[in-house]
Amino acid sequence: MLFGASTFIWVSPFSSANVGLLTKVKSMGYDIIEIAVEDTNIIDWKLIKDTASDLDLKITISGAFGAERDISSTEPHFRELGKQYIIDCIKIAENVGSPIFGGPVYSAVGKTRLVSDEQKKQERAWCVETLIEIAKIAADSGIVVGLEPLNRFETDMVNTVDQALSIVHEVASPNLKIVLDTFHSNIEEKDIPASIRKVGKELLCHVQGNESDRGTPGTGHLEWQGIKEALEDIGYDGAIVIETFGQPSKELAKAACIWRPLANSADELASEGLDFYKKMFS
């Protein structure tokens, strides 16, 4: 099992000015840095790739989806911007050697409404249509796109494993799979280990192992032993990454509902979280 830490723990948005985080993450003992791409224009990917290579640190790429990056939007322009952003991130993932690009690729974070069944059906159709296109591009790049369910307070589209599986099965591409974030699962799934087994090894491409309150893993009420056993049962051998928010931007704080510090410090959360991961999953 490989362990990773998201740049979101320390900074938002990540830029080339934060390249020192790679050294910090490596020195803590992590295998992976997960780079959240909020703005593609402020990151020198050659610098990041070369630095990671020198450190023998792996990279995974995750997305940030605001209102203008929404492939299910009623605004055609936003659907196009969302598609192009995902394509750009797939190319970035290919460039830096990330096997996956993950996130709530289907919609904007913070988009929560009551809409008619007809509108829901239309938005889902736009989503699936675009994901079919994206999956072909991902296949050409050798990248898996990971669709991540979010909790009901952050999206009204995909909250559960069942909803995620429905879209993945409809798109029917080996390059569209599922990312599970245990923070969201803790809110939406009746049985987290059962949901992991339902996704299974073939469709589970990435795990963000976050605590029930998004604080330090191991300090909340998440059913970690059951999660470990379920991952072992399906033969999952990918990454487990901490993704939480130490210094969120105003937009991110609102979308993810982060209103208070989640630990004494970002460094403490990352260090103690890794210690817990190693005890639980090694």
Tokens of 1: 């099992």
Spot the catalytic one: 34, 38, 123, 148: 148
Radius of gyration of the chain (CA): 17
Q: How far apart are CA 122 and CA 58, in angstroms?
A: 39
Annotation says 229 is catalytic: no
* Contact of 185 with 224, CB cutoff 8 Å: no
| Polymer length in residues for the chain | 282
Q: List Cβ neighbours of 153 (8 Å cut-off, separation of 6 or more).
A: 112, 187, 257
Annotation says 243 is catalytic: yes
Q: How far apart are CA 282 and CA 280, in angstroms?
A: 6
E-assigned strands of the chain? 2-6, 32-37, 58-63, 100-103, 144-147, 176-181, 204-208, 239-242
Q: List Cβ neighbours of 180 (8 Å cut-off, separation of 6 or more).
A: 148, 149, 161, 195, 196, 199, 204, 206, 207, 208
Tokens of 177: 């799979």
Catalytic positions, please?
148, 243
